[in-house]
């Protein structure tokens, strides 16, 4: 498997996003992604075309590093973890489960997990992309409904986490939820967070303004969100705390 070279395995740190915000975690940042979102804040993990570098590593070696950190909660991120070699990734997740780790996977909702992976993850954090990310990215939600429909057969939790850059993004979420996505049936948590810009250009004042605007959009739209009892507007806590710093 491939890990991003500078942040491959690190922690303990704090989960900065979604319904597990504030949870002490270790991160495993995989290398490679099937998307090229315009505002990606981890371009170094995407591929060589974005200047990234990687190391080759086995699942056992990753677990050894996690054991040394000694944090019971692990987030598998990227890039997109689900594009790693299928059998190797499946065995790695099985090993995490056997050792008693709480496992959260961050993925776009573009690729279905294979083998036993789906059943050995505690939390699936799906982040379907919106128009600001790019045309291909915003139209590639092909696995989202599959996750939602099959999660009932597992003990896992699931969330939809949207990065909102502008009003077009916000309206796109509403349109897709209304016409394409089966989220209402399952009371799936819906997390909205403002786009925080790339790490090199993060500005707290601008971020606070974006967060305020997103709250105003939701608060003025109660007739729509009345059907979605699990919506939350949340910041990216790690950016509020550490700003442009990496590997915390």
Instruction: Assess contact for 189 and 230: CB atoms under 8 A.
Output: yes
pLDDT at 185: 65
pLDDT at 219: 95
pLDDT at 214: 96
Residues counted in the chain = 248
**What number of CA atoms fall less than 13 Å from residue 247's CA on the CB side?**
9
pLDDT at 31: 93
**Based on the number of CB atoms within 10 Å of its own CB, is 21 exposed (0-12), middle (13-18) or buried (19 or more)?**
middle
pLDDT at 19: 94
Name all domains of the chain by residue range, CATH numbers in brackets: 2-242 (3.20.20.70)
Indicate the SS3 state at residue 200: helix
- Distance between CA atoms of 234 and 191, rounded to whole angstroms? 7
**Would you give the DSSP letter of residue 78?**
S
Instruction: Assess contact for 37 and 44: CB atoms under 8 A.
Output: no
pLDDT at 162: 96
**Helices marked H in the chain:** 59-69, 86-98, 135-139, 144-150, 167-179, 183-186, 204-219, 222-225, 237-242
Structure tokens at 199: 């790490």
pLDDT at 201: 65
pLDDT at 200: 57
Mean pLDDT by runs of 10 across the 248 residues of the chain is: 92 94 96 86 77 91 98 95 96 97 96 94 96 90 90 90 96 91 79 76 81 95 90 89 64
Indicate the SS3 state at residue 119: helix
Could you tell me the pTM of the whole model? 0.92
**Closest to 214 measured CA to CA, from 198, 230, 199, 234:** 234
């Amino acid at each position: 498997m491939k890990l991003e070279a500078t942040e491959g395995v690190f922690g303990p740190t704090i989960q900065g996003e979604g319904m597990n915000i504030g949870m002490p975690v270790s991160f495993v940042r995989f290398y490679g992604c099937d998307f090229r979102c315009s505002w990606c804040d981890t371009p170094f993990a995407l591929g060589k075309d974005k200047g990234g570098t990687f190391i080759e590593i086995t699942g056992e070696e990753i677990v050894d590093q996690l054991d040394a950190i000694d944090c019971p909660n692990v987030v598998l991120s990227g890039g997109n973890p689900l594009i790693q070699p299928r059998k190797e990734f499946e065995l790695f997740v099985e090993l995490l489960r056997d050792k008693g780790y709480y496992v959260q996977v961050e993925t776009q909702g573009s690729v279905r997990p294979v083998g036993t992976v789906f059943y050995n993850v505690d939390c699936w954090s799906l982040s379907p992309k919106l128009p600001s990310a790019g045309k291909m990215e915003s139209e590639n939600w092909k696995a989202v409904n599959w996750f939602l429909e099959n999660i009932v057969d597992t003990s896992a939790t699931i969330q939809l986490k949207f990065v909102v850059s502008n009003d077009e993004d916000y309206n796109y979420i509403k349109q897709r939820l209304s016409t394409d996505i089966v989220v209402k049936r399952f009371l799936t948590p819906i997390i909205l967070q403002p786009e925080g810009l790339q790490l090199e250009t993060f500005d707290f004042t601008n971020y606070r303004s974006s967060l305020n605007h997103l709250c105003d959009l939701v608060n003025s739209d109660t007739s729509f969100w009345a059907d979605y009892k699990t919506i939350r507007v949340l910041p990216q806590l790690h950016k509020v705390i550490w700003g442009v710093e990496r590997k915390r």
